[in-house]
C-alpha cells in the first residue's frame, strides 16, 4: 500500500534529488508537520496524498522544508585557503586576456559561503586589481535565497566561523542582528535554481563551489549533475566539493587538482604544477 510518506519521498527525490529512506520518517514528520498545519492538512500523511495535485506554493514549501540549509561562514576553512592560495592565483593567470572571472556557488543556502568568498576578495583587492569578478549564488530554497539577499544574520550565525576582524570590517549591527555591508552584498547575485534542472540560466564559469549537497543524491543523479557542471566549467576552471564527497565510481569528468583535498579540475586539464 502506498503511503503519504512514499509519495513525499518520490516527489522530493524527483524534484530535488534527495533520497529519503523509510528510516527518515521521523525527519519527514518533523519538518513537514508545520507545512501540513499551515496549509490546512490534517496530517503529514494527508499532505503527502494530496501533494501531486496541490498548488505550487505547497510543493515549494515541501521542498523548502526538506532541503538541508546547514551552513556557516568559512565552513571547513580548507576550501577558502585553496581559494586564496591556489584557485585565484591560477585563475588570474589564466584569465589575463579577458580579465573576467565568473564564480558559481551552486548550493548557496542562506549566503554565508558566497559572502565568505566576497570578503576574501575584498581583503586582497591588489591580487585581482583590474579584473571583473562575478559571484553567482543559487539554491533550490526560495526562503534561503531571500534571507541571503537580505544579508541579515543573528549573533549566533556571525559567531560561527566568522573572524572578528571581518565582522568589524564588513558588518553593521542592527539591534541583536548583524547586516553585511552593501560592498559585500553587491558582489553576489542570487537566484533560485534547482540542480536537477538544466543549467540554462548560466553561462560558462571559471569556478564552481558545490559542497555538501551531492551527498544527498543517488549515484545516477550525482553523475548527471556533475556532467552538467563539466559542460559549464571552463577548461582552466575548478570545482570545489565537500571534504566527505568523492568522485570515485561516480564520474570521470573531473580529476583531483594535485593533492588539494576537495579540489577538482576538468579531466582534460594538466594539474601537475598545482601538486606542490
Confidence of residue 68 (pLDDT cuts 50, 70, 90): low
pLDDT in tens, 172-218: 999 999 999 999 999 999 999 989 888 877 889 999 999 988 888 88
Instruction: Work out the average pLDDT over 218-238.
Output: 92
Domain chopping of the chain, boundaries: 4-66, 78-274
Q: Report the CATH superfamily, name and number, of domain 78-274.
A: Vaccinia Virus protein VP39 (3.40.50.150)
Query: pLDDT digit string (tens) for 120-130?
Result: 999 998 888 89
Residue 205, strand partner residues:
233
d(CA 109, CA 125): 26
CA distance 260 to 257: 6
Domain 4-66's class?
A: mainly alpha
Amino acid at each position: 500500500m502506498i503511503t503519504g510518506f512514499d509519495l513525499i519521498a518520490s516527489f522530493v527525490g524527483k524534484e530535488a534529488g534527495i533520497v529519503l529512506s523509510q528510516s527518515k520518517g521521523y525527519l519527514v514528520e518533523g519538518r513537514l508537520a508545520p507545512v501540513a498545519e499551515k496549509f490546512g492538512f490534517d496530517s503529514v500523511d494527508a499532505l503527502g496524498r494530496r501533494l501531486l495535485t496541490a498548488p505550487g506554493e505547497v510543493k515549494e514549501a515541501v521542498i523548502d522544508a526538506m532541503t538541508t540549509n546547514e551552513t556557516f561562514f568559512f565552513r571547513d576553512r580548507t576550501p577558502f585557503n585553496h581559494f586564496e592560495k591556489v584557485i585565484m592565483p591560477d585563475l588570474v593567470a589564466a584569465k589575463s586576456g579577458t580579465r573576467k572571472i565568473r564564480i558559481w556557488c551552486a548550493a548557496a543556502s542562506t549566503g554565508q559561503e558566497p559572502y565568505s568568498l566576497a570578503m576574501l576578495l575584498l581583503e586582497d583587492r591588489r591580487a585581482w586589481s583590474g579584473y571583473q569578478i562575478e559571484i553567482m549564488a543559487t539554491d533550490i530554497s526560495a526562503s534561503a535565497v531571500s534571507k541571503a539577499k537580505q544579508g541579515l544574520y543573528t549573533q549566533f550565525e556571525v559567531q560561527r566561523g566568522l573572524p572578528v576582524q571581518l565582522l568589524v570590517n564588513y558588518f553593521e549591527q542592527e539591534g541583536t542582528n548583524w547586516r553585511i555591508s552593501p560592498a559585500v552584498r553587491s558582489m553576489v547575485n542570487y537566484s533560485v535554481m534547482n540542480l536537477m534542472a538544466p543549467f540554462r540560466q548560466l553561462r560558462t564559469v571559471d569556478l564552481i563551489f558545490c559542497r555538501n549537497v551531492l551527498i544527498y543524491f543517488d549515484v545516477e543523479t550525482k553523475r548527471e549533475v556533475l556532467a552538467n557542471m563539466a559542460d559549464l566549467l571552463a577548461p582552466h576552471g575548478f570545482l570545489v566539493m565537500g571534504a566527505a564527497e568523492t568522485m570515485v565510481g561516480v564520474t570521470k569528468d573531473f580529476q583531483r587538482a594535485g593533492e588539494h583535498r576537495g579540489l577538482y579540475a576538468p579531466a582534460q586539464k594538466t594539474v601537475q604544477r598545482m601538486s606542490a
